[in-house]
Amino acid sequence: MSGALESVSLDRMFRGERLLLEAHNLKKYFPVRGILFTKGYVKAVDNVTLGIPRGKTLGLVGESGSGKTTLGRVILRLEEPTSGRIVFDGQDVTRLKGRALKEFRRRAQIIFQDPYGSLNPRKTVYSLIAEPMKVHGVRVEDTREYIIKLLYQVGLNETHLYRYPHEFSGGQRQRIAIARVLALRPEFIVLDEPTSALDVSVQAQILNLLKDLQRTYNLTYLFISHDLGVVRYMSDYIAVMYLGKIVEMASSDELFEKPLHPYTKTLLSSIPIPDPKIAKSKARIRIPGEPPSPYNPPSGCRFRTRCPIAVDKCLSEPPLEEVERGHWVACWRPGEL
């Protein structure tokens, strides 16, 4: 696909929105080694095109193993793409090196799922935040006062400055991780299941904090999660991923009110409903079997082997097309389930 066609596609996806980040035909294949040669490839991300408007949140959902985290890491160049382009604030960052890559990584950060594993246990909170500032050359008048201000913004205070990670709860550790990212003054943050390791009550606090920070600093988020309720609360747009491909994409409200891909409908039907009467009347769509291996995915539509409405035409791969205004689906029979 030519660059011109890619741009037209994203312009149609986000009419009138200024995109901070664009991914064009991204692929990430991991080689499977044999004794003497490469046997094949795991197609973790396979020809993904998407964009994220400045100051907005794109939610990325799908089953475990669908490629969500790999896509986030490839976008940040933590994993090198097999092919495709990444455009950040109008600049192609796919092949950046040296200082230019370092500056991109200051502006584009990640908050990991596990607050227990993402903080060095041998460093104090002050060192955890000050060190990346030093590495990226973030200069302030008074580093200590700057870090204290950040701690207050994330719900901590100066008494926590010289403590170690093991002295904090999971929610507090995630707040430290957020403060560490904010210290670099980023514009774009990948949130890789940032609340899945936390208690439910703490999850709500962290999500509200992230929304407040987004409004304060005009941050742009890629929010990766398997929790559909959380994704709806956080996201302006949602992309549904299955076996390395985007199968549906729309605004958050549109996707929840009118899912068109059979896979999306099955995901939404699994959301728990607190009212037993309503839950009893709601039919749950069950998907048979397990997701196929990304090492040997099905031909054509990758969901066809588990889809209750698959037909012969599904043996050929459906393109991601705009079925309704702003609603993109890769399916030969959208809305029929």
Smallest CA-to-CA distance from 232 within 212, 259, 260 is with 259
**pLDDT on residue 38:** 82
Collapsing DSSP to helix, strand or coil, 86 comes out as strand
CATH for 3-329 is 3.40.50.300
Please write the tens of the pLDDT for every residue from 228-262: 889 999 999 999 999 999 999 999 999 999 999 99
Q: How confident is the model at residue 273 (pLDDT cuts 50, 70, 90)?
A: low
Buried b (16+ CB within 10 A) or exposed e, 199-211: eeebbebbbebbe
**pLDDT on residue 281:** 57
**pLDDT on residue 184:** 97
User: What's the N-to-C CA distance of the chain in angstroms?
Assistant: 31
Strands 19-33 and 91-92, by their bridges, are: unpaired
DSSP letters, 164-188, are -GGGS-HHHHHHHHHHHHHTT--SE
Mean pLDDT over each residue of the chain, to the nearest integer: 91
Mean pLDDT, residues 160-186 taken together: 95
Please write the tens of the pLDDT for every residue from 215-236: 999 999 999 998 888 999 999 9
Name the more confident of 170 and 290.
Answer: 170
**pLDDT on residue 7:** 41
Rounded CA-CA distance 87/195 in Å is 28
Please write the tens of the pLDDT for every residue from 49-82: 999 999 999 999 998 889 999 999 999 999 999 9
Long-range pairs for 249-255 at CB < 8 Å and ≥24 separation?
Answer: 249/13, 249/50, 249/320, 249/327, 249/328, 250/326, 250/327, 250/328, 251/326, 252/59, 254/326, 254/327, 255/327
In this model, does residue 152 exceed pLDDT 60? yes
Locate the DSSP E strands across 12-76: 19-33, 38-53, 57-61
Whole-model pTM over 0.85:
yes
In this model, does residue 120 exceed pLDDT 80? yes
Q: How confident is the model at residue 278 (pLDDT cuts 50, 70, 90)?
A: low
Please write the tens of the pLDDT for every residue from 192-211: 999 887 888 899 999 999 99
Residue with the two structure tokens 């985290």: 69
Q: Which residues pair with 53 in a beta bridge?
A: 19
Six-digit token string for 227: 């929790």
Rounded CA-CA distance 307/209 in Å is 39
Rounded CA-CA distance 97/43 in Å is 25
